[in-house]
Amino acid sequence: MILCSNPSEQFKSYQSEIEQAITAVIRSSSYILGEQVNLLEREFADYIGTSSSVGVANGTDAIEIALRALNVGFGDEVITVSHTAVATIAAIEASGAKAVLVDIDPKFYTLNPNHLEEVLTKKTKAIIAVHLYGNAVDLDPILSFCETNQLFLIEDVSQAHGAKYKGRRLGSIGDIGCFSCYPTKNLGAIGDAGLVSTNNLDLAEKVRMIREYGWQNRTSILQGRNSRLDEIQAAILRIKLKYLDADNQKRRNIAKFYYEKLSLLPIVLPKIHEDVEPVFHLFVIQVAKQKKLISFLKKKGIIAGIHYPLPVHLHPAYKGRVVHSEDMSVTESIVNKVISLPIYPELSNSDSNLIVNALCEFFK
């Protein structure tokens, strides 16, 4: 069986180092927000190119805490996309703010800046740019819009660890960057974990306070909560961070193989913005017969995914309640066409060939 993603294979790649690191934490006297978290925060900030990074419990918390650190909450509005993980919108609502959703660009599946003006109100305080599938949002027009309208820009980099936009790592460009380190991510823990990055030292300190009850010297100065990153996950992430660039290159190599072998099939292959160095968290194609192809591949022992099968504004919990732009046609149409092919650093050449051959057989 060829899985769409396979984090257990990455564990096997670094098993000895990971097991040693876990054992060292267990034998230590520190299990929460200790030396491993401190080291990870410094190393990740250096990698991203920011002055600070802060470890939190998961990516959803990262966005919520980032918003709260920016004083975005009740009565405020945050613009983002509906073609994303529900977590993005859940985090906005957890902060007390209201999510306002806009349509996506048909080529890159990311936020279409042409729709920002139509949903802008006096209550708008921030935009969350979701870097999707390992690709990047075209940030320049969004940065300009934020500057003109005095809005915060939050980067949701949960699917793009290590990717670059115009030579800069994602997560270092907006006011604040938010990362999920869920096991399937390019930088994945063995459990839940998250990181927040910023070049604003005061903002970083607020994030640190909010993640632990708003404490300053164990006195609650701000209204906080519990979103602490544990030492075991931090130790695992430190090991994987050392290999992130190499693993991302392996993803790019697999993507190159797909591009070469699938170019003549009736498939819409992923488009990459010329200013972006992608990391191919997912390799998402568009086809006319989505469900038939997924079923065919499954019979061949290949598990393909759909990211995402239902736009957030059409989920029962949000339908008729969440605000969105009038035209959501691209978002609503592509969900019946997109398929995520297996891609991860440990995917073998033989498995990549099996996937390509299966696709060729389906379309012959």
Instruction: Give tens-digit pLDDT for 133-182.
Output: 999 999 999 999 999 999 999 999 999 999 999 999 999 999 999 999 99
Q: Give CA 42 to chain center in angstroms.
A: 20
Instruction: Specify the residue for token string 């983002």.
Output: 80
Name, in order, each residue with C-beta under 8 angstroms of 263's C-beta and a sequence gap of 6 or more: 269
Residues written for the chain: 364
- Prediction pTM value: 0.97
Name, in order, each residue with C-beta under 8 angstroms of 1's C-beta and a sequence gap of 6 or more: 301, 302, 303
Q: Which two tokens stand for residue 276?
A: 């972006």
Q: Amino acid identity, residue 30?
A: S
pLDDT of res. 180: 98
Name, in order, each residue with C-beta under 8 angstroms of 78's C-beta and a sequence gap of 6 or more: 67, 72, 92, 95, 97, 98, 99, 100, 124, 125, 126, 127, 128
pLDDT of res. 331: 98
Q: What is the DSSP string of 189-233?
A: -SS--EEEEES-HHHHHHHHHHTBTTEETTEE-S---B-PPBHHH
pLDDT of res. 100: 98
CA 287/CA 290 separation, integer angstroms? 6
Given a cut of 50, the residues of the chain with pLDDT beneath it are: none
Q: Amino acid identity, residue 209?
A: M
CA 29/CA 111 separation, integer angstroms? 45
CA 241/CA 188 separation, integer angstroms? 9
Q: Are 54 and 63 in contact (CB under 8 A)?
A: no
Q: Amino acid identity, residue 91?
A: A
CA 67/CA 202 separation, integer angstroms? 14
User: Residue 55 is inside which H or E element, if any?
Assistant: strand 52-56
User: Residue 44 is inside which H or E element, if any?
Assistant: helix 35-48
> Tens digit of pLDDT for each residue in 273-329?
899 999 999 999 999 999 999 999 999 999 999 999 999 999 999 999 999 999 999
Say whether the peptide bond before residue 308 is cis (omega within 30 degrees of 0). yes
Instruction: Specify the residue for token string 């279409």.
Output: 112
pLDDT of res. 227: 98
Cα–Cα distances (Å) from 56 to 69, 227, 231, 291, in that order, read: 13, 5, 11, 37
> What is the third-level CATH fold of 7-101+112-242?
Aspartate Aminotransferase; domain 2 (3.40.640)
Average confidence score pLDDT of the chain: 97
Helix residue spans in the chain (DSSP H) = 7-13, 15-27, 35-48, 59-69, 86-94, 116-119, 139-149, 201-210, 231-242, 244-262, 290-299, 329-334, 349-363
pLDDT of res. 322: 94
Residue extents of the structural domains in the chain: 7-101+112-242, 244-363
pLDDT of res. 265: 97
Dihedral angle, C-alpha 230, 233, 237, 239, nearest 10 °: 110
Relative to beta strand 98-102, strand 323-324 is parallel
pLDDT of res. 181: 98
pLDDT of res. 239: 98
The CATH class given to the 244-363 domain equals alpha beta
Of 228, 225, 230, the closest CA to residue 68 belongs to 225
Q: Which two tokens stand for residue 100?
A: 């306002």
Say whether the peptide bond before residue 259 is cis (omega within 30 degrees of 0). no
For residue 20, the 8-state DSSP code is H
